[in-house]
Structure 1
Amino acid sequence: MERFYLIAGTAEWLERLVPQGVKLVQLRMKDLPVSELMAQTLSAKVCCARYGAQLVLNDYWQLALELGINFVHLGQEDMEKADFVALRKAGIRFGLSTHDEEELNRALALQPDYIALGPIYHTQLKKMKWGPQGLTKISRWKQIIGDIPLVAIGGLTPERIPGVLAAGADSIAVVTDIQLASDPEARCKEWLTLTAKEHFYETL
């Protein structure tokens, strides 16, 4: 799995950042009419196909089935409604969010393609009932899930990359650190450089 996992709220953000070399990106849209959801998803699909990036669609698994998106990410609430039989039949892979052990056990029972844990640190993205999970929990989660890729998310910055990877995360999902940067494209390139396997090995 790619070490750098970009999360963006619009296709326009993808069109700015995917050309920088991003190979794994999630489109996370909120509170849009169906027509706009479809338009954004199709634009994102075209962009990712052009640059050879894997597109992951957040929440809207029905839209993924309809538009041929082959990877979705689902939160715990979405898991209750999702038709996993239909997703598997269509060959659609899925990642699942977790915050505590009960959620982790529930997610593992569905045999996901990755497990996400967060927020690792305090996050500005949204209000959550969970506090920062910390590096120790990354290590515990990785021991439990074994070979399933573990995605860390929440409050992550370039300075925190070595600790998060050393704790056991396979991939680092980033939202606000890039989109709130004064130069998002340059910040994106910085993340790509710092999460490259060669760079990380050099720092060990």
Structure 2
Amino acid sequence: MRLVLPRLYVILDAALTGARVAEDARMLTEEGVRLIQYRSKTGSAREQLAVCRQLAEIFQSQKTTFIVNDRADVAVLCGAGGVHVGQDDLSVEDARSVAGDTLWVGVSTHNLEQVRQAAKTTSDYVAVGPVYATGTKENPDPVVGTELIRQARRETEKPLVAIGGITLERAGEVMEAGADAVVVISDIWKAPDARERVRQYQKLLSRN
């Protein structure tokens, strides 16, 4: 049975949320966001686990699927709903061996060959990007545009998640290209009113 993803997938990036992470997490659940990832590229494993346990407690009461970036071990220990791995992290199958069959495993792809390889794995969804230029990574991969989403859609029936430089103005064309969900980071956390921006996304994506 094909996994059906919520259309809005928000990343809580430690570099942007900082000490507000629990407050921001509660705001997202209050606004109906049901797929959320926590990403920290600087904290120790122990620090990440402490934060993720706090977040897991918030999300479990709201029926929100909580994804941990990179760390399958942390995902299991904190009781998250899944783990997301990149091309330089654990392989999908290694992450699966740690996370088990009940947790989601998502994987990032940046070109068509990586999409084809991801399609052969036990991944639950495939992230494609960066669709547009992004400022949330120090050394981002080359921009792939919406064309890679279209190509990926022809290659796999797995749910596709578009990531990288997604804004409210671009979300519609990304969905039209074949994405099942859009990942939003900066356009929410750098908005003057993050809660209002989430509401705008929910309204837009409910129409697409």
Residue 129 of structure 1 and its aligned partner are, at CA, apart by 5.1
- After superposition, give the CA deviation of every residue in 1:123-162 in whole Å (9 maximum; x if it has no partner): 11113453221111110011101x2100000111111122
Distance of 1:50 and 1:66 partners within structure 2: 18
Q: Identity of counterpart residues, as a percentage?
A: 30
Distance of 1:169 and 1:143 partners within structure 2: 12
Distance of 1:105 and 1:88 partners within structure 2: 23
| 1:3 match | 7
Greater Cα offset, 165-174 or 97-106? 97-106
Residue 103 of structure 1 and its aligned partner are, at CA, apart by 2.1
Preserved CA contact (<8 Å) 2:56 2:79: no
Structure 2 residue matching 1:51: 3-state secondary structure: coil
TM-score by length of 2: 0.87
| 1:113 match | 124
| 2:164 match | 154
Q: Are 1:173 and 2:186 matched, yes or no?
A: no
Structure 1 residue matching 2:66: 3-state secondary structure: strand
| 2:39 match | 28
- Map residues 29-178 of structure 1 onto 2, 5 A cutoff: 29-80=40-91, 82-89=94-101, 91-128=102-139, 130-145=141-156, 147-178=157-188
Between the two proteins, the alignment pairs up a number of residues equal to: 196
| 2:17 match | none
- After superposition, give the CA deviation of every residue in 1:10-53 in whole Å (9 maximum; x if it has no partner): 43231232221111111112211233212210111011112221
Residue 165 of structure 1 and its aligned partner are, at CA, apart by 0.9
- After superposition, give the CA deviation of every residue in 1:110-132 in whole Å (9 maximum; x if it has no partner): 22100000110111111345322
Report the residue type matching 2:171 in the other structure. Answer: I
- After superposition, give the CA deviation of every residue in 1:57-88 in whole Å (9 maximum; x if it has no partner): 11110112223223111111113493422323
Distance of 2:82 and 2:141 partners within structure 1: 26
Preserved CA contact (<8 Å) 2:67 2:75: no
Report the residue type matching 2:62 in the other structure. Answer: Y
Structure 2 residue matching 1:69: 3-state secondary structure: coil
Report the residue type matching 1:189 in the other structure. Answer: R
Which residues of structure 1 form unaligned runs of 5+? none
Structure 1 residue matching 2:191: 3-state secondary structure: coil
Which residues of structure 2 form unaligned runs of 5+? 15-20
Structure 1 residue matching 2:61: 3-state secondary structure: helix
Give the alignment's Cα RMSD to 1 decimal. Answer: 1.7
Structure 2 residue matching 1:52: 3-state secondary structure: coil
